[in-house]
Amino acid sequence: MSQHDLKLGHPSCGDCPIRHRAVCARCEADELAHLDAIKYYRSFQAGQTVIWSGDRMDFVASVVSGIATLTQTMEDGRRQMVGLLLPSDFVGRPGRGHAAYDVTATTDLVMCCFRKKPFEEMMISTPHIGQRLLEMTLDELDAAREWMLLLGRKTAREKISSLLAILARRDASLKAGAGACSFDLPLTREEMADYLGLTLETVSRQISALKREGVIELEGKRHVKVADIDRLIEQTGDDSDGGMLG
């Protein structure tokens, strides 16, 4: 994603929700018309639940703007975030009738939904869509595997630093700024904890520690300034050439 996605948007596509070379390079009028016939938009406020795990789900969707999370919850309430959906990311699974995870809007959110049946038919008649979906799913799988390393083997400090580095890089790629950058945290401390497999107290303490040591600066509780990205990346435990996210 990130840099990649930016290149993929095709000028003539406007808000075409599946924005990428394969589809966009070919999205002639008739294809777009077909898309228009089966798609609709839904908006959510920050905090709203899009769908609960186990609910019937007769659509697939892509994020137009805002951020959503996928989480799994155990009977006793332990929660683990298993996906972070950014604009242009895809949710839902062709060939499955119910949601496998809770999907929640963490910021105001707009999604572009496609009724599942016609979408599946379209996937068959328009192979590029399936190909693009495969590409995206493989990217997600890579991200999930990077995340598994984080959950299984990294220390609390490395976990937080990794998360901040991801968010910083995401933003830096937009601003193409070098060493320094700054961004808003789109997640509460508790959501970060659910992302990282920690408690919110540990998240808070580690952020305080990074601040104390001058790796980051805070402006309010949600805005982060990073003077020297490399210094932050050193803390992540990753080998220098930032692999993350295929």
Partner DNA sequence: CCTTCGGTTTGATCTGAGTCAAGGCGCGCG
Partner DNA sequence: CGCGCGCCTTGACTCAGATCAAACCGAAGG
134 binds its own copies per the rule CB under 8 A? yes
b/e for 117-148, b at 16 or more Cβ within 10 A? eebeebbeebebbeebbeebeebbeebeebbe
Helix locations, 154-183, DSSP H: 156-175
> In terms of DSSP bridges, do strands 109-115 and 59-65 run parallel, antiparallel, or are they unpaired?
antiparallel
199 binds DNA (CB under 7 A): yes
Task: Please report whether residue 200 would count as binding DNA according to CB under 7 A.
Answer: yes
Interaction between residue 197 and its own copies (CB under 8 A) = yes
x/- track of binding to its own copies for residues 87-116 (CB under 8 A): ------xxxx---xx---------------
The whole-angstrom separation of Cα 154 and Cα 146 is 11
CA–CA distance from 161 to each of 78, 166, 236 (Å)? 23, 9, 5
Give the x-and-dash track for 2-41 against DNA (CB under 7 A): ----------------------------------------
Count of residues interacting with DNA (CB under 7 A):
22
β-pairing verdict for 49-51 and 59-65: unpaired
Cβ distance to DNA smaller for residue 31 or 238: 238
The rounded distance, in Å, linking the Cα atoms of 246 and 64 is 22
Residue pointed to by tokens 């298993």: 82
Min dist. Cβ of residue 83 to its own copies (A): 7
The binding site for its own copies (CB under 8 A) comprises: 70, 72, 74-76, 78-80, 82-83, 93-96, 100-101, 123-124, 127, 130-131, 133-135, 137-138, 140-142, 144-149, 151-153, 196-197, 237-239, 246
For DNA, the binding residues (CB under 7 A) are: 47, 155-157, 188-190, 197-205, 207-208, 218, 220-222
